[in-house]
Structures are given as C-alpha cells and as structure tokens.
Amino acid sequence: MSLALAAAMGPVLAQSVPEVENFDSAKVIAGIAIAHEDCAALERKDTAIWVEAGGASTCMRYYAAGLAPAPGPNPVTMIWLNGDVLGPKGNNARKRQSGFGPTEMVALERRLSVRFNVPAIFLGRSGTYGSAGKHFTMRGRPVEAALVDAALTGLRKRYAISAFALGGHSGGGTLVAEMLGRRNDLRCAVISSGASAYRAYLEARGLLKAGEKLTRFDPYAVLEKIPADPKRRIFVIGDPRETNVPFSAQQLYFEGLTARGHAAWLVPLERARDDRHHDLVDFGELADGMCAAGKSTEAIIAALRALPSPPPRLSN
C-alpha cells in the first residue's frame, strides 16, 4: 500500500502512521536499539510506547487501526502478539522480517478493524516487528512478560481501552496465557499453538529433564493466579498433529483452566499446512476478532472449522 493511499483512507481507521522503510532482518538477529528520544518521535505517530518493567526500559512498536484517538474511549480492542521470529541461525528472522515493514502492518490492522468492526492492534514483541530488544535472548523470559504487561497497561491508559481481546500465536500465545494470570481486563484470550504449559512442552520434546530448573516463565505453573471472570472467554487452538508444541501440552493447560472453573474451549483443528503442523495464525486471529466483536462461542468455533485454507502471510 502506498503512503498516498494510506493517507486517503483517513485518520478514522488508523492511528499508526505508515513508514516507507522495511524491517531489517539483520537488526532482528543482532538486536534492535531505539533511543528514548527516538521512541518519543514514534509515540507522536501512534506507533510506539516507551515502557519500563522487569528491570528494563525499552521502546515497543505497535500498529493500530480503528481506535478512537486519545483520550478514547475504546470499550474493547483486539490485540495480537506474534510468534517467535528468530532461530539460533536467524533463518526465521529472514523469513518473517524481510520485504515488508510498518506500512504493511498498519494496512493489516486496518483490514482487521474493518472486518470485525473493532479497533485492532498488533504489538511487536521485544526485538521483532520494529520493537527494541534482542529477541533470541529475551523471548519467553520473565522480562519479556513484564514488558508486554507494561505495554498493555500503557496502551490502555493512552486510548482509554476498557478491555482487551488478547490473542497470540506460538510464543505470543504463551504470553497470552501468562497475561491471564497478571491482568483482569481480558474480555477474550486466544492461544494459537502456544506453549501455555511450558515445562510440559519442553519435557515432551526432550529439551528439559524432570526437575531441571526452568529459566522461562510457565503459565501452567501460575494457573491459580488467574482471576475469576464469568464474562471472559478463553480459546486454546491447536493442531493434534503438531510436532513443535505437542498438542498434549496445550490440552494440559486447557484442562488446568476448566478444573479451576474458567470458561475455556479447546479447539483441535487439523488445518496447519506447514511441516510441523504449527501455523494456525489466521485461525487464532479469526477467533480473536470474532470474540472481540461479541460473537457467540458456537459461531466462533463454526467459523474456525469452516475457514478456507489461508494463503501465505507475511506476519505471524
């Protein structure tokens, strides 16, 4: 989408200002640095927020559309947390962070906002999609969860958001599960192929021995911290054939939710087309938008099962 077309669409459907330059996969691998004053300039374009949490200070990028401009109000906003984009050799970064940039991300959120008739935000995790940080060393660590939590609080204050429909894929889904134990403003929580029972996931893959210390956060270990909320709906979406995040670990987390009386639904979908049967981003995004729009649980599950196979996408 050209900047001229973006401008023609007007400010009503987008707060974030598109930018010409693309994401740089080399910076994602090496780590992204954004000075406080540079972040302030991005904040004035409604595409970044400076947060301090977990002993860290950083600039987190977001791409928003359909929000009533500050000071709001915005009753319910759908928000998405991306999956990991960086393997040890950077292969995923080159796949996920090349050939597009903020302009395409703003356009994506505009389409979602129009499609579901709710405000839509994509929040880039540390070191990804323009957010500062080194993704490979921060992903899944307590500091990342603290920063995401702080960013959500900051966005809520900036736009007077009353509640979030928070969705995420893979590592982003793990963060969604973690936020359930930290926040009381989630109207919906959608976990797509997420390692929400993180220790169980690692042990099932032979990546962690029983009793070995876990350096990352594990949402399953803090299920007791999730506040009771009869209005909140939680969707755990996974492909039973998955070889990356075993479906058994996803089911374990779901069972932990229902055992504690939370309104949750496990949605098995043999629809992921990648070799690991992991990529269900479009399905999670659909559930998040429909839940934000107040659609019934039955309608959401039916739509997930009926969704045609999605085309390849840039973001995750």
pTM above 0.75, yes or no: yes
Which tens digit of pLDDT belongs to each residue from 10-27? Answer: 444 458 998 989 999 989
Is the model's pLDDT at 293 over the cut of 90? Answer: yes
Please determine, looking at this structure, whether the domain spanning 3-306 carries the CATH number 3.40.50.1820.
yes
Please tell me the least confidently modeled range out of 56-60, 69-73, 165-169, 196-200: 69-73
- pLDDT grade for 3, boundaries at 50, 70 and 90: very low
Which tens digit of pLDDT belongs to each residue from 219-251? Answer: 999 999 999 999 999 999 999 999 999 999 999
Residue 88, pLDDT score: 55
Average pLDDT, the chain: 92
Residue 166, pLDDT score: 99
Residue 15, pLDDT score: 84
Residue 276, pLDDT score: 95
Is the model's pLDDT at 216 over the cut of 70? Answer: yes
250-257: average pLDDT? 98
- pLDDT grade for 312, boundaries at 50, 70 and 90: confident
- pLDDT grade for 90, boundaries at 50, 70 and 90: low
Residue 272, pLDDT score: 96
Please tell me the least confidently modeled range out of 89-93, 260-264, 299-303: 89-93
- pLDDT grade for 211, boundaries at 50, 70 and 90: confident
Residue 93, pLDDT score: 81
Residue 12, pLDDT score: 45
155-175: average pLDDT? 97
Given strand 264-268, what is the order of strands in its sheet? 48-53, 56-65, 120-123, 74-81, 161-169, 186-192, 233-238, 264-268
Residue 87, pLDDT score: 56
44-57: average pLDDT? 96
